[in-house]
A = this chain, B = another copy of it.
Amino acid sequence: MDQAQQRYHHGDLRSALLHAATKRIDEHGVDSLSLRKLAEDVGVSRSAPYHHFADKNGLLSAIAAEGFRQWHHTARTIFEQQTLAPSARFRQFIHEYVGYAADHPQLYELMFGRILWQAQSATDDLKAVAYPCFQFQVEMTRYWQESGLLPAGPEPLRLAQVTWGTLHGIARLLIDGIYADRSHIEQMCDTAAQLFMQASANHE
């Protein structure tokens, strides 16, 4: 009764679970997360989490949502650095995106992976945070098109899908360890940036 962890009511179980789960995922990957072990770690019975999350997907969605909030903030910060030239910001964005994925591979996997997005397992709550994040990618692309950095021809949405797809693809090849490793990151990003910017150069 005196020890906080042995009270019948934990007090702040929801955030305790989120915290512990986030740590676990970051260190050992999404697949290693077991609700039962998690509950035990937090010092609570195995079905207590169900009073705070509908199911395992609910927990995962909440963690992913937090990731999207953080990334959205980071992206906006880079994009709004008015002191830097658009091209410099573009390059920085690319490096930052891939760097973020490489630094938090497990979280990235959760945020953009099949677990949550396949079969409609994503919570409405998660969608509410993620979609504006996707939308922002399109806004940036439109801006870079208007700045003459990217080709003006394609629709912003279409082009955003391709440029974002490129970053996403590079990130996944890295994370999954497919024919690319961390020592290639900088060169890959530079190559990608150069490729995109060259594409618009001959249309001026």
Contact = CB atoms under 8 A, between A and B. Distances in A.
Interface of A: 29, 109, 112-114, 117-118, 131, 134, 151, 153-154, 158-159, 161-162, 164-173, 175-180, 184, 187-188, 191-192, 194-196, 198-203
18 contacts: A29-B118, A112-B176, A113-B114, A113-B176, A114-B175, A117-B176, A117-B178, A134-B178, A154-B194, A165-B166, A165-B173, A167-B169, A168-B172, A168-B173, A169-B169, A195-B195, A198-B198, A201-B202
A162 B188 contact: yes
Main secondary structure of the interface of A (DSSP, over half): helix
B161 A170 contact: yes
A155 to B, nearest CB: 8
B170 A165 contact: yes
B199 A195 contact: yes
A159 B194 CA distance: 11
> How many copies of this chain does one complex carry?
2
Contacts of A175: 114, 118
Contacts of A112: 172, 176, 178
A166 B201 CA distance: 20
A171 B165 CA distance: 8
A191 B117 contact: no
A164 B173 contact: yes
A165 B151 CA distance: 20
Contact of A118 (B176, B179, B203): B176
Most-contacted residue by chain B among A114, A118, A200 (CB, 10 A): A114
Given A154-B191, A154-B194, A161-B170, A114 B109 contact: yes
When A and B form their complex, which 6 residue pairs have the shortest distance between CB atoms, in order from nearest? Answer: A169-B169, A202-B202, A165-B169, A168-B169, A165-B170, A198-B199
A175 to B, nearest CB: 7
